[in-house]
Amino acid sequence: MATSMFFEFLLDSLPKLLDGLQVTFLLTIVAILAGFLIGVTLALGRIYGNKIISGICIGFIEVIRGTPLLVQLFIIYFGLASIGLVFSPIQAALFGLSLNSSAYQAEYLRGSIQAIPSGQMVAARTLGMTKIQSIGTIVLPQALRISIPAWSNELIYLFKYTSIAYLIQVRELTAEGQIIASRNFRYVEIYLIIALIYLIFTFIISEIVDRAEKRFHVPGLGVPKRASWLRNT
């Protein structure tokens, strides 16, 4: 019957889809972490750097945010190859997604840093802390906490948008589904299954991040819920 046929199909496709899911996870985790490190650097450079450093950071952030992710991936994968810089699909995707996410994370963090009252920095400097110590022990720990909701959105965004990597031949979840569907033409079923997998893990990720948010919560440190400057997911 229809349902048993569906489950048979599901079981047959599952191993390949799980292979793809692993690649999706790899892309997501590397991009969120590398994007975080680069993003923190960009945000600090933009706020505290001299004119030149700040200008470079702003330029990078604006170029990334002003161009589509797909175009960025094409440039890295096809464009750079034409000048002799050859990346494998997965390398190009890891690189592109990390850079892309770093620009967004930098902007979320910048918003948070600028929301910290200036008196916090003044009080730290008054104790005799250097500027770097004040940023590291007073400003950043607060800014990172209030960035958690934005960061959680970014993680979920990334998890779903890694699917774009399929267009540069990365065999992540969506690509594996596409391959299966092109063999047996059962597009509706396979895409429903894929959508369900994304949905389940999106839910799990939100739950984990919510717990992290509670774990790091400090009374009185405002956590703006779902601020309007988040990118749409």
Partner 1 sequence: MPMLDVKNIHKSFETTEVLKGISFSMEKEETKVIIGTSGTGKSTLLRCLNQLDPPDEGEVWLDGEELTNPSIDINRIRQKIGFVFQDFNLFNHLTALRNVSIGLEKVKQLNKEKARERAMDELKRVGLEKQINQYPAQLSGGQKQRVGIARALAMDPDIILFDEPTSALDPELIGDVLDVMKSLYGKVAMLIVTHEMGFARNVADEIIFMEGGVIVEKGPPKQMFQSPTKQRTKEFLGRIATLYGAE
- Residue 35 beta carbon to partner 1: minimum distance, rounded to whole angstroms: 24
Residue 215 makes contact with partner 1 by CB under 8 A: no
The answer to whether the CB of 20 falls within 8 A of the CB of 173 is yes
Q: How far is the CB of 43 from partner 1 (least distance, A)?
A: 18
- Token look-up 């209030």 returns 146
Q: Is 114 in the site for partner 1 (CB under 8 A)?
A: no
Minimal distance in Å, beta carbon 122 to partner 1? Answer: 6
- Per CB under 8 A, does 224 bind partner 1? no
Query: Which of positions 141-180 make contact with partner 1 (CB under 8 A)?
Result: 141-142, 145
Is residue 159 within 8 Å of residue 232, measured between CB atoms?
Answer: no
Tokens for 81, please give them. 């190859």
- Chosen residue from 1, 3, 84, 219 binding partner 1 by CB under 8 A: 219
53-83 per-residue burial string, b: 16 or more CB within 10 A, e: under 16: eeeebeebbeebeeeebeebbbebbeeeeee
Helix and strand element counts for the chain (H, E): 10, 0
Q: Which stretch binds partner 1 (CB under 8 A): 7-15, 106-114, 164-172, 218-226?
A: 218-226
Closest to partner 1 by CB, 133 or 182:
133
Exactly one of 127, 183, 188, 228 binds partner 1 (CB under 8 A); that residue is 127
Query: Which residue of 3, 11, 66, 128 would you call a contact of partner 1, by CB under 8 A?
Result: 128
Both structure tokens of 72: 């960025």
Quote the CA–CA distance of 141 and 211 in Å, as a whole number.
18
